[in-house]
Structure 1
Amino acid sequence: MIWSNLKNIGGSLLVIILFLSSSQLSAQKNGPTIPKDSVWTNGGNFGIFFQQVGLSNWSGGGENSVAYGAEVNLYANKRQRSHTWFNNLQAGYGLVKIGDQGARKNNDILIITSQYGRFLSDKWQLSAGLDFRTQFADGFIYNGAADATDTLISTFMSPGYLSPYIGTTYKPNDAFSATFAPLMQKVTFVMDDDLAAVGAYGVDPGENIRSQAGWSISAMYQKEIMTNVNLKTSLLLFDAYDDIEHIDVNFDLFLNFKVNKYITTNFALQTIYDHDIDIEDEDGNVGPRLQMRNVLNIGLTFNFGEPRKEE
């Protein structure tokens, strides 16, 4: 089963590699060479966030708490004649400690995206790329105090998602783009054997990888919507050909408010509806559910690299 899935992955990646290689060879044969330093735009930002609440004889109740974390966003974008290549990395990790409880994570995300495009006209591109998502550390359902009764539900590469695709991109301006990919492979990894044994995240019980062929629609909007306020939002829809009646949804929104050169506030919202992920509610019912994660941070942010050219 694993070998069959790996062959499917390899086939998808081979198609993309051949597509990129042929396009690059064509680019080398046509048009003048542009100096290297005029092609790439690189940079990003790194943020450190901290929150502390201390209470003493406080009649309103509550508990002492400390929250802290870090986030990094990196990009490397290439524009050369009719070719574009956009690469992004988003990573964040945070912990919160309330009262006498041990530290528990409240933010854990790792997303890497890459998209190559070749313009067919002023607004349309032939495109290929991939989307990779996972987390850094163990995730638990906390059943009580830190007494080994907590239930592990996720960890690094459990789940992990790799989605290579080929399609067309509509890009009417620098702020907005939308991609339709009739060829997409959604590969789900559950590398923790205990989680794989129970068939977590849609893999067959005892297997570590599940591969699904399907189509996808994705859209992204990124712009400074007012002075010192940047908005970035994205939507990804995926529909597997062997389960056509169910569409998985992943929506992200990120707002960044710049106070001054170093101090920023940002708000992140992520919503997921994946038909392969079963979640138990308070009444004991198990099934797919709308997942939501939101993070509000205030802290120090350090920007570096060249000014970003919006995708």
Structure 2
Amino acid sequence: MKRRFYSLLILLLVCISIGRAQIYDLDELRYRPDSNSLKVEKSEPGIRPVKLPMSTLDLKVIYWRHWSSFGINANQASFSDNWTGGGVNSISVGALINHKSDYTRNNTNFVTELMLQYGKQKNKDQLPRKNNDRIFWDNKLSLKISNFWSIYTSLTFESQFDVGLMYGKDEEGNEFVRTDTTLSAFMAPGYLTESFGVEYKPDNTFSLRIGTGTARQTFILDDRVVPTFTPRFGVEPGRRFRNDLAFQLTANLDRNIGKNLNLKSRYNMFANYEELSDPAHRLDATLTASVTRLINVTLSGILLYDSRQHEEVQTSQTLALGLLYKIPR
């Protein structure tokens, strides 16, 4: 009995030892292959920061805008000696230069406008005489306070190029220049106007200035035009200068009323505070019809009332065919 017991015990220990030995052998002999059959050396990725050159856009904000125009107008009429309908041979030539610059930044606006006009006319049996002569330079600085209203200050200069002459006829009917009387000349008169007030501008084609504080100086710097016995251009005899404090209205219109039709006008009312009941008025209007890019027909008119120059209304009207070159086109 004991012998059988010991035999079973020895057999059990041997089985346990063999089981442990198999488990150990299997773990040692187990083969775990690599993911690749061939060994490949992996290189380290060469990643480094690179600074790319930033291309700067060469953009500039241009606050200035410019417009210029140059024109030559001509009129001509001729009649044969046996023409029974009446008429006078005549020819007239005129030139004009207009320039406008506009600076706008935020609520600040500055505009300068220069207009130079000169023309001469020659009729048969008459001496040449000018039919157009003007220098006009207007400068305005404004600060916008609402959508349509601004506070402005302006400086305007006006005069002419050539001498205004008077003509007479001798006993034989020949025309001559009167040397005893000169009507006008450069800076005789010349006007310098400073104004301060408010401006109403609903769009880019119309503006109205209300100058509550306006001063205008009148100059007569040519000895031939200086008044001697009666006032001329409001300047007292023997004097060359006059200063006025006034209320001023200035309306400007520059609008295309058709495809090739433009209307440009300027109205100015100047009322001296000492003579408010008798203000001076001037209306300049020009209607331009473009036939081609260069050829145009121009109808111009001036209406002027200034009791210091003449008691009645003065008018001027011209119709011309000419060449007009604009920049930008």
Question: Shorter-chain TM-score: what band?
Answer: 0.7 to 0.9
Structure number with greater Rg is: 2
Higher relative contact order (CA 8 A, sep 6+): 1
Aligned length: 263
Distance 1:54 1:173 in 2: 46
Aligned counterparts of 2:271 and 2:88: Cα–Cα separation in 1? 45
User: Equivalents in 1 of 2:111, 2:60: separation in Å?
Assistant: 16
What SS class does the counterpart of residue 168 from structure 2 fall into? Answer: coil
Is 1:214 the counterpart of 2:246? The answer is yes
1:226-241 equivalences under 5 Å are: 226-241=258-273
Aligned partners of 1:175, 1:248: CA distance in 2, in Å?
25
SS of the residue 2:203 aligns to: coil
Query: Are the equivalent residues in 2 in contact too, given 1:236–1:250 (CA < 8 A)?
Result: yes
Q: Is the CA contact 1:271–1:291 (under 8 Å) kept in the aligned structure 2?
A: yes
User: How far off its partner does 1:233 sit?
Assistant: 1.5
The alpha-carbon distance between structure 1 residues 59 and 164, as it changes in their structure 2 partners (threshold 3 A), is same
Instruction: Quote the Cα distance in structure 2 between the aligned partners of 1:94 and 1:148.
Output: 18
Aligned equivalents of 2:118 and 2:79: distance in 1? Answer: 26
- Residues 251-285 of structure 1 show CA distances to partners (whole Å, capped at 9, x for unaligned) of 1111111000110111111111112113xxxxxxx
TM-score, normalising length: structure 1: 0.80
AA at the equivalent of 1:75: K
- Contact 2:166 2:177 survives alignment (8 Å): no
CA distance in 2, matches of 1:36, 1:119: 24
- The match for 2:176 among 142, 147, 151 is 147
Percent of pairs with identical residues:
29
- Report the equivalent of 2:84: 59
Counterpart AA for 1:297: A
Contact 1:190 1:200 in 2 (8 A): no
How big is each residue's C-alpha offset from its partner over 1:3-34, in whole Å with a ceiling of 9 and x where there is no partner?
xxxxxxxxxxxxxxxxxxxxxxxxxxxxxxxx
Partner residue of 2:314?
A: 291
1:47 maps to 2:47:
no
Q: TM-score, normalised on structure 2?
A: 0.76
- SS of alignment partner, residue 225 of structure 2: helix
Residue equivalent to 1:168: 198
* Equivalence for 1:187: 217
Whole-angstrom distance in 2 between the partners of 1:152 and 1:36:
53
Segments of 5+ residues of structure 1 without an aligned counterpart are: 1-34, 279-287
Tell me the SS of whatever aligns to 1:193: coil
Residue 37 to residue 193, structure 1, CA distance change in 2 (3 Å):
farther
Quick check: 221-230 or 185-194, which moved more?
185-194
More helix by share: 1
Sort the Cα spacing of 1:243 and 1:61 in 2 relative to 1 into closer, same or farther, 3 A.
closer
- Runs of at least 4 residues off by over 6 Å: none
Which residue does the alignment assign to 2:130? 105
